[in-house]
Structure 1
Amino acid sequence: MLDKMRKMGFVLDISVYGVLLEELCKNKEIEKAMQLYEDMNDSGICPNIKILIYDLISCVRDERDMIRIVEDRYESLDLKARLILYISMLKGLDNNGSTDKAYHLLCASTGLESAGDFNEGSLFFMKELACPDTVSFKLVVDGLCWADRLETALGLFRDMDRISCKCSVLLYNNLIDSLSRSGRFDECFELLNEVKQSEFQPTHYTYNSIFGCLCEQGDDKGTLAMVREMSVHGHQPWIKYYTLFMKKLCKDGRAAKASNFLADMVQEGFLPDVVGYSVNL
C-alpha cells in the first residue's frame, strides 16, 4: 500500500509513517522498521519523540541501531526529550541483556568511575546532559540486581550521594529485596535503618521482602522479630510467607513452634487465615 501511494504521487506525512512504524515494531519486524525509518530520513521527515522512543528505541535489539537513531536526532531535541531518550537507551540496553554496557554508560555520563570501558564514540550525545536522574539510576541498579551483580548495584547506589542525585523508596525496596534473596540480612537491615532515618518511610513491600526470606530460611527468631516490628509500624505480614514458614516448620518436625508462631501473631494483632491454621492440623 505504501509503495502504491508513492507511485500515485501521494505526499507521505509523519502520521502515515508513524502508523506503519508502530505496527512493525509491535510485530518485532525490526529490519523493516529500520528501513522505513531510513526512508523517513531520506524524505526529510523528522520523527517525533513517540516514534523515536516508544516505537524504535523500545524494540530495537542491535546496539548499532540504537546509536544510529540517537545520533540522527539528538541535536534537534530539547533537554527534557534528550533525557527521556537517554533513559530509553539505558532501558533498551538492560532489555537486551547488556546490563554492563548500561552501567558503564551511566558511569561515563555522570563522571563516575566504572570497572570497564564504554565505546567513547557512543557517548557523544551525553556530553551536554547535566546529570541523569533517579529514574536512570533505578533502571541500572535494578538491572544489576537482576543480573546478581549486587556489589556493583550497591556501589552505584552509594555513588548517587556523591553526585547529589536523589534516591527513592523504590530503589531502597528493590535493593533490600535482592539482598534478602541472597541472605545478606545485615546489609538489608542497614538499608532498612537508612530508610527510617531518611525522608522516606519503609512500605509493606520493604518489610515483607525481608520477612519472606526469613520465612524461607525457617528463621523462627528473626521471623517473629520482623512480625513484631511490622506490627509497630502498621504493616501486615503477607499470607503466602507465613504459610510457607509454618509448612517448613511442620515439615522439619517443629509443629509446636508453628503453633506458637500462630499464637504470637494473634498476640501482635494479626489474625491468620484458615490456611495458616490448617497447616497445623
Structure 2
Amino acid sequence: RESRVDKALQLFDKMRKLGFAPDVSLYDVLIGGLCKNKELEKALYLYSEMKELGIYPDVGILTKLISSLPREREMIQLIEEMQEDLDTEAMTLLYNSVLNGLIKNGSINKAYHLLRAMMGDESNGDTEVERLFMIKKFVQPDTTSFGIVIDSLCRTDKLDLALALFRDMDQIGCKRSLLLYNNLIDGLCNSNRVEECYELLREMEELGFKPTQFTQNSIYGCLCRREDVAGALDVVREMRVHGHVPWIKYSTLLVKK
C-alpha cells in the first residue's frame, strides 16, 4: 500500500520537474516523514541531495535523522559534519537526539554514561558517541536531556540510577520539572517504594509544583496494591481538595479485597 510519504515524494519530484526549487522546510517535512516510517535510506538520500544543492540542513532535520539512526557511527558522522557551524543551544538539541537514538536502540546504559560524561563525571568511555561529546566541552545537558534518560531508567526499573541522576542535576544548575517528579513517583510506586514517593511529593510541593491527577493516582494505586485502606482514603481526601478523581482501576483492587 502506498503511504502518504510516498505520495508526497512523487509530488516533490513533479514540483522539481516543473521548475520549483525545494527549500529546507520541504526537506524537513519529507525527511521527518521518512524517519517516522523507518525509511532511513531514503531519508539519508534526501539529506545528501539537499547538501549537494547547497541547501543547509537545519537542526530539526539533524535531530530527526540522529534519533532514528540504528548505529552510533552514523550518528557521529552527522554530528561531525555539522558541529563547527552550530551554537551551544543547537549542539544540546543534537545531544538530546543522540540520547533518544541510543534509548530507541536499547542502549540505555550508553545513554546514561553519555549523560554522565556531559555532566563532567568520570566516564568509562565505552562508546564512540561519548568520546566525541567529551571533546565538546561547551555542550551541556538541559532538563530535556535528564528527562529522556531518567524516563528510560524508570521504565526499565533502574530507579536508583534515575534518582541519583535526578539529585545530581543541581551540580550543573539544571532545573527539575514536574514531569520528572511525576515519572520518578510513578516508577517508585510501581516498585512499592511509596515512602520515597512521599519524600518527592513534599519536595516538589516545596518547589511550588502542584501534584497532578497522575501524581496522586500513582501513590493511590500503590497504596491500593498494598491493601493500605487508611492510607488510600487519606490520598482520596487529598485528591478531592485538588479537584482530582481516583482512578477506578485502582479502587477495584480495594473492593476485591
The answer for unaligned runs of 5 or more in structure 1 is: 250-281
* Matching of residue 192 in structure 1 with residue 201 in structure 2: yes
C-alpha contact 2:118 2:133 (8 A) present in aligned 1: yes
Partner of 2:104: 95
- For 1:69, the aligned partner's letter is L
The answer for unaligned runs of 5 or more in structure 2 is: 1-9
* Aligned counterparts of 2:186 and 2:138: Cα–Cα separation in 1: 35
Partner of 2:94: 85
Aligned counterpart in structure 1 of residue 47 of structure 2, from 31, 34, 37: 37
Residues 171-217 of structure 1: CA deviation (Å, up to 9, x unaligned): 11110000000001121111112122222222222111010122123
* Matching of residue 149 in structure 1 with residue 173 in structure 2: no
Q: How many residues align?
A: 245
* Aligned counterparts of 1:5 and 1:207: Cα–Cα separation in 2: 53
Aligned counterpart in structure 2 of residue 206 of structure 1, from 197, 202, 215: 215
* Matching of residue 122 in structure 1 with residue 129 in structure 2: no
Question: TM-score scaled by structure 1?
Answer: 0.75
* Aligned counterparts of 1:41 and 1:147: Cα–Cα separation in 2: 39
Partner of 1:52: 62
* Aligned counterparts of 2:15 and 2:233: Cα–Cα separation in 1: 71
- For 1:157, the aligned partner's letter is F
* Aligned counterparts of 1:84 and 1:148: Cα–Cα separation in 2: 26
C-alpha contact 1:74 1:125 (8 A) present in aligned 2: no
C-alpha contact 2:118 2:134 (8 A) present in aligned 1: no
C-alpha contact 2:194 2:222 (8 A) present in aligned 1: no
Residues 148-193 of structure 1: CA deviation (Å, up to 9, x unaligned): 1111001001101222211111111110000000001121111112
What's the Cα RMSD here?
Answer: 2.9
- For 2:201, the aligned partner's letter is L
C-alpha contact 1:195 1:201 (8 A) present in aligned 2: yes
* Aligned counterparts of 1:41 and 1:101: Cα–Cα separation in 2: 31
Q: Which has the higher contact order (CA 8 A, sep 6+)?
A: 2
> Which runs of structure 1 show a deviation greater than 6 angstroms over 4 or more consecutive aligned residues?
1-6
Residues 98-139 of structure 1: CA deviation (Å, up to 9, x unaligned): 11111111111111346774435332564212x321111111
Percentage of identical aligned residues: 53
Question: TM-score scaled by structure 2?
Answer: 0.81
C-alpha contact 2:117 2:134 (8 A) present in aligned 1: no
* Aligned counterparts of 1:160 and 1:87: Cα–Cα separation in 2: 16
- For 1:128, the aligned partner's letter is F
C-alpha contact 2:153 2:162 (8 A) present in aligned 1: yes
- For 1:46, the aligned partner's letter is Y
Partner of 2:5: none
- For 1:218, the aligned partner's letter is E
Partner of 2:239: 230
Change beyond 3 A, Cα 1:111–1:13? same
C-alpha contact 2:103 2:152 (8 A) present in aligned 1: yes
Partner of 1:276: none
C-alpha contact 2:59 2:90 (8 A) present in aligned 1: yes
Change beyond 3 A, Cα 1:125–1:47? farther
Aligned counterpart in structure 1 of residue 80 of structure 2, from 66, 71, 78: 71
User: Structure 1 residue 17: deviation in Å?
Assistant: 4.8
- For 2:43, the aligned partner's letter is A
C-alpha contact 2:125 2:131 (8 A) present in aligned 1: no
Residues 76-101 of structure 1: CA deviation (Å, up to 9, x unaligned): 12222222222222122222211111
Which of the two has higher C-alpha Rg?
A: 1
Residues 231-280 of structure 1: CA deviation (Å, up to 9, x unaligned): 44443322332133212x1xxxxxxxxxxxxxxxxxxxxxxxxxxxxxxx
